[in-house]
Amino acid sequence: MTVIVRDARPEDPADAEGYARVRRAALPWMLATARQVAHDWAHAHPDAHNRPLVAEVDGEIVGTAEVSLAHESPEPGSAVVNVFVHPDHTRLGAGALLLRAAEEHLAGAGATTLYSWVLDEPGFRAFAERHGYRGSRSAHFLRLDLTTAVLPPLQEPPAGVELRTAADFAADPRPLFELDAVTTADEPGDVDAVLDDYAHWLATTWNHPLNDLALTTVAVADGRPVAFSAARTDGLGRYGSGMTGTHPAHRGRGLAKLVKNDSLHRARAAGCTEALTGNDAGNGPMLAVNRWFGYEIRATEVRHVRTLG
């Protein structure tokens, strides 16, 4: 079989659907829809030099690659390349061809350090090592069956705190952007991120097709958001936690559990049957929160790094 690697065509719905299908098959613990993929392509930041790639066999998309500079990182030259191959089409060379094309593009765009998430399984790790990548930190995929889970009872907020949904901020989402920026700044990870572009955040986060404003719970104190649990849904009964964060000045009050519990109850009431999330392996507090809800680790991936030059 001949594998052909090419640029994804943003104007072609079949490419978006094929891209999402491969992602769902390779990483079933993450939400992926054609509408989401098309939206991400259309709203990629120009500084990211985003170039989604696909690998085809006989006209069928069997592999994909996320390829971009980490434009939100304060470290110049950082870039991301994540390669996915459909489990039914491995060992055809698609992964190696996608990686080569991605690396050539990123090198030409000025990248010096490449970061790639790799499933913590012998075959995947060996592939990364053969191509010059070394393992660093790890992260877990977690799952909760909402049809059988015994969720904690809904809790009363502490004095001075009230619960709202993100939909209540539809007229002015900026306070949620500011809270997202503060909590993202100290999230564990190899690549630091700085959220300082409100217009881009509106396009890629607030107006993202998976973002579910009605299921996103926000804790408010003194009229300002102080904690939130962002919800994403795919319309197929799957609910994903985009981010759960608490303002540093309000930590230690149990607000992360409070907002996530409320969001999970809302999700189940809305008909969601499966809850998915991911945590950096070093994020002990959030892992403890998810264990408290009954989430179970389903897979682990390891961030791999390669320095160009």
Please indicate whether the domains covering 3-111 and 144-299 agree at the CATH topology level: yes
User: Cα 179 from chain centroid?
Assistant: 18
pLDDT of residue 53: 98
Residue type, 181: A
Query: What are the pLDDT tens digits along the chain (309 aa)?
Result: 899 999 999 999 999 999 999 999 999 999 999 999 999 999 999 999 999 999 999 999 999 999 999 988 888 899 999 999 999 999 999 999 999 999 999 999 999 999 999 999 999 999 999 999 999 999 999 999 999 999 999 999 999 999 999 999 999 999 999 999 999 877 655 555 567 899 999 999 999 999 999 999 999 999 999 999 999 999 999 999 988 999 999 999 999 999 999 999 999 999 999 999 999 999 898 899 899 999 999 999 999 999 997
**Residue 257, CA distances (Å) to 103, 262, 268 in order:** 41, 8, 16
Q: Write out the DSSP string of 188-241.
A: --SS------HHHHIIIIIT-TTB-TTT-EEEEETTEEEEEEEEEE-SSSEEEE
Three-state DSSP state, 258: helix
Over residues 114-160, the pLDDT tens digits come to 999 999 999 999 999 999 999 999 999 999 999 999 999 999 999 99
pTM equals 0.91
- d(CA 53, CA 59) in angstroms, rounded, equals 14
Token pair 């698609």: residue = 94
- d(CA 55, CA 85) in angstroms, rounded, equals 8
Specify the DSSP element, H or E, that contains 286: helix 284-293
- d(CA 72, CA 187) in angstroms, rounded, equals 14
| Cβ partners under 8 Å of residue 213, min gap 6 | 165, 166, 167, 170
Q: Enter the DSSP assignment of 115.
A: E
- d(CA 229, CA 251) in angstroms, rounded, equals 14
Furthest-apart CA atoms within the chain: distance in Å: 65
Please answer whether residues 105 and 51 qualify as being in contact, where contact means their C-beta atoms are separated by less than 8 angstroms. yes
Over residues 60-102, the pLDDT tens digits come to 999 999 999 998 888 889 999 999 999 999 999 999 999 999 9
Please answer whether residues 54 and 226 qualify as being in contact, where contact means their C-beta atoms are separated by less than 8 angstroms. no
- d(CA 143, CA 239) in angstroms, rounded, equals 10
**Residue 209, CA distances (Å) to 3, 82, 147, 161, 257 in order:** 32, 22, 24, 29, 25
Q: Enter the DSSP assignment of 152.
A: P
Rounded CA Rg of the chain: 20
- d(CA 230, CA 69) in angstroms, rounded, equals 25
Per-domain boundaries in the chain: 3-111, 144-299
Tokens (6 digits) for 153: 């009872």
**Residue 175, CA distances (Å) to 27, 162, 217, 227 in order:** 33, 15, 14, 11
Q: Enter the DSSP assignment of 91.
A: S
CATH code for the domain defined by 144-299: 3.40.630.30
Tokens (6 digits) for 249: 């000045």
pLDDT of residue 242: 86
Please state whether beta strands 274-280 and 238-246 pair in parallel, antiparallel, or not at all (unpaired). parallel
Token pair 């069997």: residue = 62
Q: Which CATH superfamily is domain 3-111 in?
A: Gcn5-related N-acetyltransferase (GNAT) (3.40.630.30)
Residue 284, classified by CB atoms within 10 Å of its CB into exposed (0-12), middle (13-18) or buried (19+), is: exposed
